[in-house]
């Protein structure tokens, strides 16, 4: 499983022009196929007079879902180069729609491939990307007498403290990079003289 990936910073658009044809690329972060397809539908609805609405999306940290569509352009000249650009730039959980207004000059297969792929690349540069890193969720349980110092040490070390719960003991929920789990276990034992317990949970991807 990947330790991280990139996704777009938010919804955004960027327009390019090639031989009088306009290419408007709209990007958005999406969590699933339903959201990706809804974004494509909204792009079509916003520009009903456009010549084509080609799309590509990549879902999953490991790019398990990869879909694209040419919307009437010659097969493989629009959606596929858009998809390849998303993959080349390591972008995940992202949908791209390129809306084209034909300018009267045929671009040929090579020209279309460059135009559609280039439109996505330019839009990624304009909108920006953000990293998501894989974290293992963990709960550190410790007595009240050590909890305040331990929480300060965790935050001071840059650990992702997610929640602190006070009961008979104090439970501090943290997120740990997978590669750091064993080193953290050793650090925790030393910092609390073995008085804290560490329980590992599931995994999430978060900004980082």
Which domains are seen in the chain, by residue range?
4-127 (3.30.230.30), 132-207 (3.30.70.240)
Q: What is the pLDDT of residues 58-97, one digit of tens each?
A: 999 889 999 999 999 999 999 999 999 999 999 999 999 9
Q: What pLDDT is stored for residue 118 in this prediction?
A: 96
Phi and psi angles of residue 196, each rounded to the nearest 5 degrees, phi first: -100, 150
Q: In 3-state terms, what secondary structure has residue 57?
A: strand
Identify the segments of the chain with pLDDT beneath 70.
1-2, 207-208
Q: Which residues contact 36 (CB under 8 A, 6 or more apart)?
A: 30, 55, 57, 59, 67, 95
Q: What pLDDT is stored for residue 189 in this prediction?
A: 92
Q: What pLDDT is stored for residue 203 in this prediction?
A: 79
């Amino acid at each position: 499983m990947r330790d991280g990936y990139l996704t777009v910073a938010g919804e955004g658009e960027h327009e390019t022009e090639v031989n009088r044809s306009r290419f408007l690329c709209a990007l958005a972060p999406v969590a699933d196929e339903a959201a990706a397809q809804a974004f494509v539908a909204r792009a079509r609805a916003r520009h009903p007079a456009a010549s084509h609405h080609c799309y590509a999306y990549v879902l999953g940290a490991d790019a398990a879902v990869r879909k694209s569509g040419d919307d009437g352009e010659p097969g493989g000249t629009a959606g596929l180069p858009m998809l390849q650009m998303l993959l080349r730039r390591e972008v995940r959980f992202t949908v791209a729609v390129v809306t084209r207004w034909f300018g009267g000059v045929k671009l040929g297969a090579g020209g279309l491939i460059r135009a559609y792929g280039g439109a996505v690349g330019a839009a990624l540069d304009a909108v920006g990307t953000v990293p998501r890193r894989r974290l293992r969720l963990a709960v550190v349980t410790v007595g009240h007498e050590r909890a305040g110092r331990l929480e300060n040490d965790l935050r001071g070390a840059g650990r992702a403290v997610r929640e602190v719960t006070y009961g008979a003991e104090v439970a501090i929920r943290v997120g740990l990079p997978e590669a750091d789990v064993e080193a953290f276990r050793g650090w925790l034992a030393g910092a609390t003289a073995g008085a804290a317990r560490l329980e590992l949970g599931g995994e999430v991807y978060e900004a980082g």
